[in-house]
A and B are shown apart, each in its own frame.
Chain A
């Protein structure tokens, strides 16, 4: 079945460091890809998405490019802040109507000042 694999964390960075969180997927068809973020004590919220190959999603300085040839959707940010500390989930759509999301296990990011 469809699945998402994320790099294990936690990832610990100093403020202003470059961030990459790897995400690869296995899917039949052509899913849409998402990054969701979960701040401490809160629900998940959409960070960015890409709906077809070579699309780049971006938001709040984060970027990810839908790479069909490598089945990847890595999350990057050029300069992280302490406020970026959170859990990041990669996800893909599944099902006839594409409304079911299949999530990765999540990657904890800790940014130190």
Chain B
């Protein structure tokens, strides 16, 4: 089954404790992206990747890191989480990075709480 898988789905952590949210897709998609969803703000892009080893900042990259060593994986790293990073995070992918407006496929989301 074609899917985007995120882990963990739920996490409560404390300020300053490094964490990684993993994202994996099995559709051989070139493009992957991370969004955060906050009430009243919709989804805002954190980072995106056009292909392996190619990543770039989105609208709200502060406090986050990403890497794209393999095509299927795109982990989101919070080196020193703070309470303002409490949010619902979505990983998404699409087939083509340069072929125009393709459909984004989303994971089920990871709800992160930073105390």
Interface residues of A (CB under 8 A from B): 4, 32, 34, 36, 41-46, 49, 51, 89, 93, 97-101, 103-106
Contact assessment for B106 and A103 in the assembled complex, using a CB-CB cutoff below 8 Å: no
Report which of A32, A41, A106 forms a contact with B101, defined as CB distance below 8 A: A32
Given A43-B4, A43-B108, A43-B109, A99 and B102 contact (CB-CB distance below 8 Å): yes
1/0 per position for B83-108, CB-CB distance to A under 8 A? 00000001010101111111111111
Q: Which 5 A-B pairs have the closest CB atoms?
A: A43-B106, A32-B101, A103-B42, A103-B43, A105-B42
For the complex, give the distance between the alpha carbons of A24 and B45 in Å: 20
User: Number of A-B pairs whose CB atoms are under 8 Å?
Assistant: 62
**Chain A contacts for B101, CB-based, 8 A:** 32, 34, 49, 51, 93, 98-99
Q: Are A99 and B97 touching (Cβ within 8 A)?
A: yes
Q: How many residues of B contact A (CB 8 A)?
A: 30
**Provided the pairs A43-B4, A43-B108, A43-B109 are in contact, do residues A97 and B100 lie with their beta carbons within 8 angstroms?**
yes
| Residue in B closest to A101 when the chains form the complex, CB atoms | B104
Extra contacts, 20 of them, besides A100-B48, A105-B42 (Cβ < 8 A), are A32-B101, A34-B101, A42-B108, A43-B92, A44-B104, A45-B106, A93-B101, A97-B98, A97-B99, A97-B100, A99-B94, A99-B98, A99-B101, A99-B102, A100-B33, A103-B35, A103-B42, A103-B44, A104-B42, A106-B42
